[in-house]
């Protein structure tokens, strides 16, 4: 069932306000005659399964700030995601699509949920539709009216094959089946129509698009630590090519996550992943026709250690945000969390164990945004400044490719992140998380 809930957000120090839910609400209902929770009490009557939606302010890349979080009574799975339009965030949990108004990012408002009969996972937005994957189904949900999302058509792979991953580019939907076949659907007018099936080679690694057609090129898995030279080809040389994303954001044949813009960023070829590789195309000013892939390496533990050394930090504090929202006794309300923080001795733990493996990452502009399993948020330049300076003729030519401020990080306590989305302007990041485990 779908319920619409208006969340009234208030400033710190004001009394909480909430709207009563109707008895058919999808949110947890109160026990009979149960007393309301006071504002300053941490709510103990939690649902059995919860998820957390958090907003991080990132305009100051040196000092990202956790602004607010919403606790929802819906369990999440590792492949659930959050995706964005200009004013709304759409996130999936086990069996629901949720709509949250983020027109005022520091005051997100839960709007409504759309239930599904089966377990769902990843979601992507194209036009007025959210495409959502189930185990064997693809759902197209019309979001032209965000307060009333409507489930439109449902598509299946041939022979009811299981879905491993998918991506959307313009009017085409690319779906990877468990049989390592790529199925291309046309999704005009909200209907998914199969137009092509592509059998992938055994050793395919990445998939790049051929211009002007739904065809793809397969980049083979490297047999050594050296990455293929052809990585630079789809990134292009001429500006019109560079303005378009040329790689499909579909997990590689070895299951590494892939993110692409005019850059390409992939997980390292190991599990769990603590390192990322990024690629640009080096364009020589002396030889305009000469290009080659430019590789960046992101070792988060090493970067983190460098930061701690430069700032002489010996401890880190993870703390709760100033505002939080939760559902209890059938109401969504603002609460004042009890002051809670955790001070960690960074020398007492290996940094990899401290930050946890990478769970998601996104590219926006010339910056890379990363969340890790233990609740750390990183901002990194896609390509390191010092790498660029060794290739380009002048620092002035290099500047568009890197951020001048020190890259930032944020240790926050709002659960175990599983999905990250960043707005186009690089102002806010939105994180979907599991609740914090009782033991670390």
Phi and psi based region of residue 355 (left: phi greater than 0; alpha: psi -120 to 50; beta: remaining) = alpha
For the segment 28-61, what is each residue's pLDDT rounded down to a tens digit? 333 333 344 333 333 333 447 889 999 999 998 8
Triad 156, 49, 30: Cα angle to 5°:
120
Tokens of 54: 């958090």
Point out the least confidently predicted range of 51-65, 252-266, 277-291.
Answer: 277-291
Three-state secondary-structure class, residue 375: coil
Tell me whether residue 270 is exposed, middle or buried, using C-beta atoms within 10 angstroms of its C-beta: 0 to 12, 13 to 18, 19 or more: exposed
* pLDDT over 60 (residue 72): yes
pLDDT at position 52 is 93
104-113, 169-178, 286-295, 332-341: which range is least confident on average? 286-295
Mean pLDDT, rounded, for 264-269: 85
Strand partners, 115: 96
Residue 58: predicted pLDDT: 93
Residue 1 has pLDDT above 60, yes or no: no
pLDDT score of 147 more than 90 = yes
Q: What average pLDDT does this structure show over 86-109? A: 94
Model confidence band, residue 20 (pLDDT cutoffs 50, 70, 90):
very low
The CA distances from residue 290 to 236, 326, 376, in Å, are: 11, 56, 39
| pLDDT over 90 percentage in the chain | 36
pLDDT at residue 16, rounded to an integer: 33
The four Cα atoms 420, 424, 429, 430 give a dihedral, to 10 degrees, of: -60
- The listed range with the strongest mean pLDDT (62-71, 217-226, 301-310) is 62-71
Is the four-CA dihedral 411, 412, 416, 421 of positive or negative sign? negative
Least confidently predicted of 145-159, 228-242, 260-274: 228-242
If you search the block for the tokens 């809670």, which residue do you land on?
A: 340
Residue 440: per-residue pLDDT: 38
The answer to whether the bond into 372 is cis (omega within 30° of 0) is no
**CB of 76 within 8 A of CB of 404?**
no
Which residues lie below 8 Å from residue 357, measured CB to CB, with a gap of 6+?
A: 272, 273, 274, 372, 373
Cβ 379 vs Cβ 64: under 8 Å = yes
Query: Could you tell me if 388 and 402 are in contact, meaning their C-beta atoms sit under 8 angstroms apart?
Result: yes
* Model pLDDT, residue 424: 87
- The token pair that represents 307 in the structure block: 């930061």
Q: What is the pLDDT of residues 176-187, one digit of tens each?
A: 999 899 999 998
Is the confidence at residue 247, as pLDDT, over 70? yes
**How much is the pTM?**
0.81
> For residue 85, which of 132, 33, 124 has the smallest C-alpha distance?
124
The residue count for the chain? 440
β-bridge partners, 123: 132
pLDDT at 384 over 80: no
Closest to 221 (Cα-Cα) out of 252, 200, 248? 252
Cα 346 to the center of its chain, rounded Å:
27
Report the pLDDT averaged over residues 294-314: 80
- Average pLDDT for 114-121: 96
Q: What confidence tier does 389 reach under pLDDT thresholds 50, 70, 90? A: low
**Mean confidence (pLDDT) of the chain:** 77
What is the Rg, in whole angstroms, of the alpha carbon atoms belonging to the chain? 23
Strand partners, 422: 429
Token representation of residue 183 = 């199925």
Q: How many CB atoms lie within 10 A of CB 178?
A: 12
Q: What is the mean pLDDT of residues 390-417?
A: 66
For residue 390, pLDDT over 60 is answered with no
Local confidence band at 391 (pLDDT 50, 70, 90 cut-offs): low
List of domains in the chain: 51-434 (2.130.10.10)
* pLDDT winner (highest mean) among 238-242, 269-273, 351-355, 436-440: 351-355
Which residues are CB-neighbours of 229 under 8 A, at least 6 positions away? 292, 293
Residues ≥6 apart with Cβ < 8 Å to 439: none
| Average pLDDT of the residues in 397-411 | 63
Residues 85 and 239: their CA atoms lie apart, in Å, by: 26
- Strand, helix or coil for residue 206: strand
- Asked whether the beta carbons of 93 and 100 are under 8 A apart, the reply is no
Write out pLDDT tens, residues 308-354.
Answer: 887 787 888 777 776 677 665 555 667 666 667 778 787 767 888 88
Q: Contact, 274 vs 256, CB < 8 A?
A: no
Task: Quickly list H helices, 284-355.
Answer: 300-311, 351-355
Most confident of 137-151, 240-254, 325-339: 137-151
């Amino acid at each position: 069932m779908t319920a619409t809930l208006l969340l009234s957000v208030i400033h710190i120090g004001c009394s909480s306000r909430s709207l009563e839910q109707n008895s058919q609400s999808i949110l947890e209902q109160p026990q009979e005659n149960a007393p309301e929770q006071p504002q300053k009490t941490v709510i103990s009557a939690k649902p059995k399964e919860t998820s957390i939606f958090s907003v991080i302010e990132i305009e100051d890349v040196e000092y990202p700030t956790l602004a607010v979080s919403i606790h929802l009574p819906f369990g999440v799975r590792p492949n659930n995601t959050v995706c964005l339009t200009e004013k709304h965030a759409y996130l999936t949990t086990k069996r629901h699509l949720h709509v949250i108004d983020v027109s005022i990012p520091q005051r997100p408002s839960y709007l409504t949920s759309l239930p599904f009969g089966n377990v769902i996972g990843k979601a992507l937005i194209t036009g007025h539709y959210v495409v959502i994957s189930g185990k064997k189904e693809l759902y197209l949900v019309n979001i032209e009216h965000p307060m009333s999302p409507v489930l439109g058509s449902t598509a299946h792979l041939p022979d009811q094959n299981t879905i491993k991953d998918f991506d959307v580019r313009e009017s085409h939907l690319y779906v990877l089946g468990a049989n390592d076949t790529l199925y291309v659907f046309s999704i005009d007018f909200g209907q998914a129509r199969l137009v092509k099936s592509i059998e992938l080679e055994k050793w395919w690694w990445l998939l790049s698009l051929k211009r002007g057609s739904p065809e793809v090129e397969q980049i083979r898995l490297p047999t050594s630590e050296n990455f293929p030279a052809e990585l630079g080809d789809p990134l292009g040389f001429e500006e019109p090519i560079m303005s378009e994303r040329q790689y499909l954001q579909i997990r590689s044949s070895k299951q590494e996550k892939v993110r692409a813009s005019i850059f390409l960023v992939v997980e390292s070829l190991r599990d769990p992943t603590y390192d990322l590789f990024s690629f640009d195309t080096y364009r020589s000013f002396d030889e305009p026709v000469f290009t080659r892939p430019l590789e960046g390496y992101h070792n988060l533990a090493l970067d983190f250690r460098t930061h701690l050394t430069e700032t002489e930090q010996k401890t880190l504090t993870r703390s709760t945000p100033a505002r939080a929202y939760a559902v209890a006794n059938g109401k969504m309300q603002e609460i004042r969390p009890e002051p809670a923080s955790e001070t960690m001795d960074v020398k007492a733990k290996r940094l990899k164990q401290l930050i946890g493996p990478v769970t998601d990452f996104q590219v926006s502009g010339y910056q890379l945004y990363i969340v890790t399993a233990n609740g750390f948020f990183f901002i990194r330049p896609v390509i390191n400044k010092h790498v660029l300076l060794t290739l380009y003729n002048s620092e002035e030519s290099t500047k568009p490719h890197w951020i001048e401020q020190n890259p930032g990080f944020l240790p926050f306590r709002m659960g175990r992140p599983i999905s990250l989305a960043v707005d186009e302007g690089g102002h806010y990041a939105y994180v979907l998380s599991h609740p914090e485990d009782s033991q670390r």
